[in-house]
């Protein structure tokens, strides 16, 4: 399957709490080797290592001029102060981090990150000049109760409250159904499309059709090399947020290649 589009797809690797900085270097080098044969004009790639790896990963991306965007997994919505264990946007920016995941379901579920703090964090990321990838998605219970759209509407609307008008170009959403994360059971491409289209419709009514039209919406949750192409072939799925499969250079690069292959013409030539 192929598609053309004005939205450049993103394949983002969320390493979570895996890989120390030495292991991170090994993975990055293995990935860099494989990316040599990838058409990186058709797909953007980001990695989101643990905080302790950022400096090492940044050094390699910079020295080898790798076509990889450096991302973080989380940050504080506050600038500085007595917040033990937290990391600010400014600290990330000093390490050349360009992109931050905001409101991943593990932050929401395990660390009590509310919709309000998600919005404040998105706002902090944007005012620090970085890109925010806001994660949204329903639990299995909410899905079974038919509440998926309601949950997505609430989470997207709440997150947009932290996004100043005019700053939307630095925001992406990632639809990550919680029941699909790390379970091996991905959403079907049809379900992913329906949810991503719903997210786009919420953005459209909260902001405008033109804002919604250019904003990238990713799918995440047990994405693998064998479903990557089918997922991004969907009209409203503009890339993937990948957990487990991003820890293996071969799997992750196969997914990047599948996404690049799906985009038949260089970004910008479509539509
Ligand atoms: C994630 O946690 O963002 C994720 C998509 O994980 P996995 O790919 O392992 O399901």
Domain boundaries, the chain: 10-75+86-262
pLDDT per position as a tens digit, 186-228: 999 999 999 999 999 999 999 999 999 999 999 999 999 999 9
Q: Which of 221, 248, 251, 254 has most ligand 1 atoms within 8 Å of CB, for mutation?
A: 221
pLDDT per position as a tens digit, 200-211: 999 999 999 999
pLDDT per position as a tens digit, 43-89: 999 999 999 999 999 999 999 999 999 999 999 999 999 999 999 99
Catalytic residue among 106, 138, 176, 189, which?
176
| Catalytic residue check, 250 | no
Buried b (16+ CB within 10 A) or exposed e, 52-72: ebbebbbebbeeeebbbbbbb
Q: DSSP character for 271? A: -
pLDDT band at 106 (very low <50, low <70, confident <90, very high): very high
Q: Which of 222, 239, 245 has most ligand 1 atoms within 8 Å of CB, for mutation?
A: 222
pLDDT band at 271 (very low <50, low <70, confident <90, very high): very low
Catalytic residue among 48, 74, 77, 104, which?
104
Residue length of the chain? 271
C-alpha of residue 49 to centroid of ligand 1, in Å: 13
Helices (H), 180-269: 189-206, 209-214, 225-232, 249-262
Q: Which residues on adjacent β-strands are paired with residue 174?
A: 135, 218
pLDDT confidence of residue 2: 67
SS3 content of the chain, % helix, strand, coil (to 5): 45, 15, 40
CATH code of the domain occupying 10-75+86-262 = 3.20.20.70
pLDDT band at 265 (very low <50, low <70, confident <90, very high): low
């Amino acid at each position: 399957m192929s598609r053309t589009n004005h939205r450049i797809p993103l394949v983002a690797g969320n390493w979570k709490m895996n890989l120390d900085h030495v292991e991170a270097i090994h993975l990055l080098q293995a990935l860099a080797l494989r990316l040599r044969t990838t058409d990186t004009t058709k797909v953007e790639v980001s990695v989101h290592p643990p905080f302790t790896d950022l400096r090492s990963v940044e050094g390699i991306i910079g020295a080898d001029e790798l076509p990889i965007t450096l991302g973080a997994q989380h940050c504080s919505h506050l600038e500085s102060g007595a917040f033990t264990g937290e990391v600010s946007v400014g600290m990330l920016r000093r390490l050349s981090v360009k992109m931050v995941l905001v409101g991943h379901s593990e932050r929401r579920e395990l660390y009590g990150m509310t919709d309000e703090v998600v919005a404040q964090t998105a706002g902090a990321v944007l005012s620090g000049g970085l890109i925010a990838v806001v994660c949204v998605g329903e639990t299995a219970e909410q899905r079974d109760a038919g509440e998926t759209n309601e949950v997505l509407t609430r989470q997207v609307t709440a997150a947009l409250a932290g996004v100043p008008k005019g700053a939307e170009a630095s925001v992406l959403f990632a639809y990550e159904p919680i029941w699909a994360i790390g379970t091996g059971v991905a959403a079907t491409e049809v379900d992913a499309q329906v949810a991503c289209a719903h997210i786009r419709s919420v953005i459209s009514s909260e902001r405008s059709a033109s804002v919604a039209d250019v904003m990238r919406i990713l799918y995440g949750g047990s994405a693998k090399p064998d479903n990557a192409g089918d997922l991004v072939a969907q009209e409203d799925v503009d890339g993937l947020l990948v957990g487990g499969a991003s820890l293996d250079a071969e799997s992750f690069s196969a997914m990047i290649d599948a996404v690049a292959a799906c985009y038949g013409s260089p970004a910008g030539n479509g539509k």
